[in-house]
Amino acid sequence: MVPLPPPAVDVARYLDSCFRIRVKVPGTESAVLGILPVLAIVFLWMFATWGSTERVFLPEGKLGDEAAAPQAGLRCDDGTAYLVPGFRLQVDEVDSFLVGAVASYSLKGLPARELEGGVRVRLRRGAFVGTNVHEIPVTVGAETPPVGRGGARLPAPPATLTVTLWVYAFENVESRLISAAILPSPGEVVRSVRALWNDRRPFWNVGHSFKRVGLGFLVALLVTFPLGIFMGSFSRWKSLFAPLMTFGGYLPIPTLVPLTMSLFGTSELQKVMFLALGFGIYLLPLFVKAIEEVDNVYLQTAYTLGATRAQAVWHVLLGIAWPNIYDAMRMGFGIGWGYIILAEMVDMGSGGVGAMILVSQRQGPREHIYLVLLIIVLIAFITDKIWEWGGEWAFPYRRMKR
């Protein structure tokens, strides 16, 4: 019996299923759908930073201060010096040229400077792809003697000079949709990983930031957790602190930077207290809401069974609200990685991911800014997964089907 071919995907039916409410999505399909937006962003990033390839013909010269000879396949970083002896530099309104005894060569926008005995060209990031042989017609010797009595002189026979030129390929950054000074390409960001590793000590800086976020989170919990329980459980306590909670909700977080600086200076304490205030403003309303969302029927049942006031708060209100409180803590810890940038930009000498971003913005390279942002996102993602696994372990009943 011949097996039937698998049914074709019904596009209309699949699109219709995308708008169904609360349908089960297989794990593989969920992973693919989650990757698609990331691929789209990377594609747009590459498209916006894609420049055309230029090829420039360079006479024989030496590379860098070590006077090394070029080789086919040799890649050069941006700003590599290439010294061409025996040539002079000619610049016009459109381009600059290497001018020799018999020929001149366009530099295609590469910066150059004339030195004693030659021209120093600053290469852009690219590679020597090989050589190209040029044949240049030249005139050799004097004119021939006249032919016959009263005859005219004939020109000297033409000769050909063979010149071997290096072909250097590089990206024309001016052809990009978005300038490299604003948005580097994905390839440039990846190539700057080694420089970030060697110059910026990323593990040391990330460790300092993680310590500050952790300490600020603990300080905020020590204050907001009991206060949130009291405000969510006792109406008069909520009336007492509700104006302050409302004021904090409308308070711009960056304004806390000068406030904490005036109180604590620029020390580690200032960074921790700034983060603690940011965490507290975010967590307190969520804690109060989690307690208040517990239905009164549970309290009435507890009182009917003879529970005391403390038992009702601890075993009923807090016991039922724990999953929502945990979710609030999970979201709040991720928010801290956005506040850490503000805290660490105050004092660059103290290290941290915020200082890394500020140093990269002021001194370069700009590619490090995007690398640090990727590091922050990766750390936030990993810590969020740890919080998720902790929630599944602490509240296994939440995985049960409705």
Q: What is the mean pLDDT of residues 356-368?
A: 78
In a domain, 369, yes or no: yes
How far apart are the C-alpha atoms of 344 and 209, rounded to whole Å? 8
Do 101 and 213 belong together in one domain?
A: no
Both 203 and 62 in one domain: the answer is no
Question: How many independent structural domains does the chain possess?
Answer: 2
Model confidence band, residue 215 (pLDDT cutoffs 50, 70, 90): very high
Paired sense of beta strands 118-123 and 126-139, if any: unpaired
Q: What CA–CA distance (Å, rounded) separates 365 from 375?
A: 16
For the chain, give the mean pLDDT. 81
Same domain, 204 and 275: yes
Record the tokens describing residue 143, joined without a space: 């004119």
Which residue type, as a one-letter code, is found at position 39?
L
The secondary element (H helix, E strand) that includes residue 130 is strand 126-139
Instruction: Identify whether 281 is part of a domain.
Output: yes
Asked if residue 44 belongs to a domain, the reply is: no
In a domain, 316, yes or no: yes
* Peptide linkage before 365 cis (omega within 30 of 0): yes
- Residue recorded with tokens 């010096």: 81
Q: Assign residue 263 the CATH number of its domain.
A: 1.10.3720.10
Amino acid (1-letter code) at residue 258 = P
Predicted TM-score (pTM) of this structure: 0.69
Q: What is the pLDDT of residues 322-334, one digit of tens each?
A: 988 998 898 888 8
Q: What is the model's pLDDT at position 399?
A: 66
In a domain, residue 244? The reply is: yes
**Parent domain of 166:** 52-139+158-175
35 domain-assigned: no
The pLDDT tens digits of the residues spanning 266-290 come to: 788 888 888 998 898 889 999 988 8
Co-location of 170 and 222 in the same domain:
no
* Residues 236 and 366 both lie in one domain: yes
Question: How far is Cα 308 from Cα 310, in angstroms, rounded to an integer?
Answer: 5
Is 62 within a domain?
A: yes
Please give the pLDDT value at position 217.
92
**320 and 228 both lie in a single domain:** yes
Interatomic CA distance for residues 402 and 397, integer angstroms? 11
**Quick check: is 40 in a domain?**
no
Q: What number of other Cβ atoms are within 10 A of residue 200's Cβ?
A: 19
Is residue 222 over pLDDT 90?
Answer: yes
Q: What stretches of 156-286 adopt beta strand conformation (E)?
A: 158-172
Q: Virtual CA dihedral for 14, 17, 19, 23, nearest 10 degrees?
A: -140
Shared-domain flag, residues 221 and 78: no
**Those residues with Cβ within 8 angstroms of residue 365's Cβ, 6 or more apart along the chain or in another chain:** 192, 195
